[in-house]
Amino acid sequence: MTTPNIDKLYIESPELFPRNVAVTLDGNRRWSKSKGLHETEGHRVSLENLRGIITRAGELGIKTITFWVFSHENFSREKSFLDSAFKLAREYLNKKKYFEDITKMGGKLGVIGDLSLFPKDIGQKMRELVSKSNPVEQKIAVNFALGYGGRDEMVRAFKRMVSDKVSPEEVTEEKIYTYLDMQEDIDLMIRTGARKRTSGLYIYQAAYAELYFTDILCPDFTVEEFDKAIFDFTTRQRNFGR
């Protein structure tokens, strides 16, 4: 698909563009295997690509973007993969410039999911980075989904509602939102890697999200590919069931 001048389109019709985007970063291990590389090298390339995508998202008026980096279910993978993934996580968490770059471009860091599932040092470092992320002028909220599962998010939300003694009369759609990791509707969900499923990302928030699936494996999901997804969204007619 040839993407037209999307910058010109945004200037002329900004209302056509999504405000809240979620991206499932799938296909990293398959990419690594196809190139004879260590299985986490695809994740490294994808992480490097994210800064460009975040910058582009801000340019196109996107106010919130979530990257699903590590799922709740990923913890059931073999120990060798988990050890390598945690090693890569520690490497990037100690790359001061990586997160400074995101802050400089107006990105406010956030985390969704259950950080308690990770080794303590990883969870602690991520919380520190989030607390210190204070851009001079926030342009976009950048969320990393870590230890995230859609069903787990709902379970955690319902447990907090029970703990807070929320009565049946108080339960509304708006009330449920206040207990979720993400408290806004998702406009566009993108999944790389040729798998055509949501895998439970934002079960509640994505009820009317537009879905975009691409065969491109995550390490090859560049800014240009991101533009294709955004342009595709602008062509869709959204009536929310009306």
Q: Show which residues are catalytic.
A: 26, 74
Answer for the pair 187, 23: CB distance below 8 angstroms, yes or no: no
What is the CA 129 to chain-centroid distance, rounded? 17
Three-state DSSP class for residue 241? coil
**Amino acid letter at 77?**
R
Answer for the pair 151, 158: CB distance below 8 angstroms, yes or no: no
Burial of 215 (0-12, 13-18, 19+ CB in 10 A): exposed
The residues facing 133 across adjacent strands are: none
143: nearest Cα among 57, 212, 209, 223? 57
17: nearest Cα among 242, 241, 227? 227
CB under 8 Å to 81, separation ≥6 — which residues? 39, 40
Instruction: Provide the token pair at 7.
Output: 């910058």
Which value, in Å, is the radius of gyration of the alpha carbons in the chain?
18
CA gap 4, 226 in Å, rounded: 13
CA gap 106, 84 in Å, rounded: 31
